[in-house]
Amino acid sequence: MAEALSPRTGYFWPKTIRGLATVVACASAFVTALLGGATYAIVHEELERQIDQRVDAETRTLLKYYREHGFEGLRHVIRLRDDDQPAIGYLAKLDRDVGRTMGYMLVDRAGRRQADTLHAVMPPLGWSQFLTFRRGDGSTGIAQAMNTALPGGGQLVVAADREIIDHMDATLLRLFVSAFGLLLVTGVLVIFGFGRVVQRRLRAFEGSARAIIAGDIDQRVAVDGSGGEFDQLAHVLNQMLDRISLLVASLRDVSTALAHDLRTPLSRVRAQLEQAEALATEPPQRALLDNIIAETDDLLALFASLLAIAELDSQNIRRRFVRLDLGDAVAEIAEAHRPTIEDAGLSLEVHTISAPIRGDRALLQRLVGNLLDNALVHTPPGTHICVRVECQMRQVILRVADNGPGISTEHHARVFERLARLDSARSRPGHGLGLSMVAAIAAAHSGDIEIRPGQPGFALKVHFSLATG
């Protein structure tokens, strides 16, 4: 038998198909978010690198010009660049109202600005990644700048507007949010569709399983002919059910035939014993024959019960089901048992309401009668027995309880086994078929049996489906 997941290993793992699909979708979304974040960071760093390269190349070009033409030549070329040189590549102008993306600042050895289109404070020597400046339209921007000391004195600042980076970051963010949102919507639709498909197939399996549990052993799982995993599983399950049906039918036929074949010779033996008793003249002989006849009647009753249970297991009894009032049927049989119960020193309390179900009235009364007989045999004088019929959430509940010694929890499953008798009941008359008959009648009516220990005592509930229409 497969072991159940321990609380530690299965606590956080999803228990449903949709839960599992949700976990997969969330994992995919998480990986997508990581990839999106990595792409965003790589593109951002590449843009910064290219701007740095542009600033560095511009600085090298101007320094070379300075070495060849001096300070005045440098000032002249910077002014020409400010007026005429267009921006190129990633540094192309993004907005006509913003102005140029490159800015320059030339300071002589006295600290006076000689060429100044970069409206910002003088940055320190070296690289400045985030230099605040004011554009021509009055807006504030951030630039990457390089401040270089000139050999003859003075400083040269070359800066590039980071607006292209901000623009590209915003574009990537919009694309990522759109793609991520589309992925989430697609994931939700896939989860919903996948869950519907899987649950529809599983409901078919569940419906067949419940029908088999209810006693329809000929029920089979539907096969759609697709050859998929569910179809293959359905084929295997149907083959298993065919084998089980064959074994159950063989066992039922053997037990039924055995019980039926033994009833006839036992009935003949009983008739002959009655004839012998009529001819007996001595009291000891008559007493012995009476005992033998009683034992024979006991065996005949046992075989009759086995045949009745076999008939219930075959589910053919359902053809006789009609709409009836369970409350009325239970009240009638309970009142019929009241004199016997009270003569034994026990008390009986009956509470019923009108509760329509489909079933066989005689069988349902036999179910209640067996439970009352069981309480009568196995509880001491002074025991209080309570019988109730009530309706809850489209279910009819039959409850029979007593405050007797009860049955220990570990024996609850055994009490419905055929011919099973607990140690405490072996000294009392019976065959161990009373509660087996109760279980068979309940199963024939698609009822669910629930045993609950009383405080003290024993309580048994049978849940039936409420009849509609």
Query: What pLDDT shows up at residue 433?
Result: 66
More confident residue, 205 or 257: 205
Which parts of 214-347 fold into alpha helices (H)?
229-279, 283-313, 326-343
How confident is the model at residue 262, as a pLDDT?
A: 65
How do residues 314-363 score in pLDDT, each as one tens digit?
A: 666 777 888 999 999 999 999 999 999 999 899 999 999 998 988 888 88
pLDDT of residue 427 exceeding 50, the answer is no
Looking at per-residue pLDDT, the higher value among 3 and 200 belongs to 200
Residue 456: is the preceding peptide bond cis (ω within 30°)? yes
Element (H, E) at 38: helix 17-84
Given this model, what pLDDT does residue 89 score? 32
Q: Is the pLDDT of residue 100 over 60?
A: no
**Identity at 282, one-letter amino acid code:** E
State residue 311's pLDDT score. Answer: 63
**Residue 260 pLDDT grade (very low, low, confident, very high; cuts 50, 70, 90):** low
Q: Which helix (H) or strand (E) holds 7?
A: helix 7-10
Task: Name 262's Cβ contacts closer than 8 Å, sequence gap at least 6.
Answer: 299, 303
| Bridging pattern class, strands 458-465 and 448-453 | antiparallel
The stretch 51-63 carries a mean pLDDT of 87
Tens of pLDDT, residues 400-420: 888 877 676 665 666 666 555
Q: pLDDT at residue 135 above 50?
A: yes
User: Using an 8 Å Cβ cutoff, are 440 and 316 in contact?
Assistant: no
112-126, 198-212, 359-373: which is most confident: 359-373
Token digits of residue 36? 């999106």
- 295: pLDDT strictly greater than 60: yes
What integer pLDDT is reported at residue 259 of this predicted model?
60
Check pLDDT > 80 for residue 306. Answer: no
User: Per-residue confidence at 431, pLDDT binned at 50, 70, 90?
Assistant: low
Task: Please check whether residue 231 is in contact with residue 225, taking contact to mean a CB–CB distance below 8 angstroms.
Answer: yes
Q: What is the pLDDT of residue 97?
A: 36
Among residues 310, 304, 444, 459, the alpha carbon closest in space to that of 397 is found at 459
Range ranked top by mean pLDDT from 4-13, 87-96, 189-198, 372-381: 372-381
Q: What is the rounded distance in angstroms from the CA atom of residue 307 to the CA atom of residue 257?
A: 9
What CA–CA distance (Å, rounded) separates 303 from 299? 6
Q: Is the pLDDT of residue 367 over 50?
A: yes
Please give the C-alpha separations between residue 145 and each of 10, 260, 292, 418, in angstroms, as whole numbers.
Answer: 57, 106, 118, 94
Structure confidence at residue 408 (pLDDT): 64
In the chain, % of residues over pLDDT 70: 74
In whole angstroms, give the CA distance from residue 228 to residue 250. Answer: 33
β-sheet bridge partners, residue 460: 400, 451
What integer is the mean pLDDT of 262-287? 73
6 pLDDT more than 60:
no
Amino acid at 457: G
What digits encode the pLDDT tens for the residues 167-211?
888 888 888 888 888 887 887 788 778 778 877 888 888 887 877
Percent of the chain whose predicted confidence (pLDDT) is above 90: 5
408 vs 126 pLDDT, higher one: 126
Give the residue with greater pLDDT, 279 vs 303: 279
What pLDDT score does 154 carry?
A: 85
When the pLDDT of each residue in the chain is averaged and rounded to a whole number, the result is 77
Mean pLDDT computed over 206-222:
74
List the structure tokens of 319.
């053809």
For residues 385 and 402, what is the distance between their CA atoms, to the nearest angstrom? 4
395-402, strands of its sheet edge to edge: 347-351, 384-392, 395-402, 458-465, 448-453
For helices 361-378 and 434-444, the axis angle rounded to 10 degrees is 150
Do 412 and 376 touch, CB atoms closer than 8 A?
Answer: no
What domains sit in the chain, N to C, each tagged with a CATH number? 21-170 (3.30.450), 229-313 (1.10.287), 320-465 (3.30.565.10)
The residue among 311 and 191 whose pLDDT is bigger is 191
- Dist. CA 56–CA 145, nearest whole Å: 9
Per mean pLDDT, which of 137-141, 153-157, 291-295 is the most reliable? 153-157
Checking if the pLDDT of 364 tops 60, the result is yes
Contact 454, 461 (CB under 8 A): no
Q: With bands split at pLDDT 50, 70 and 90, how would you rate the model's confidence at 453?
A: low
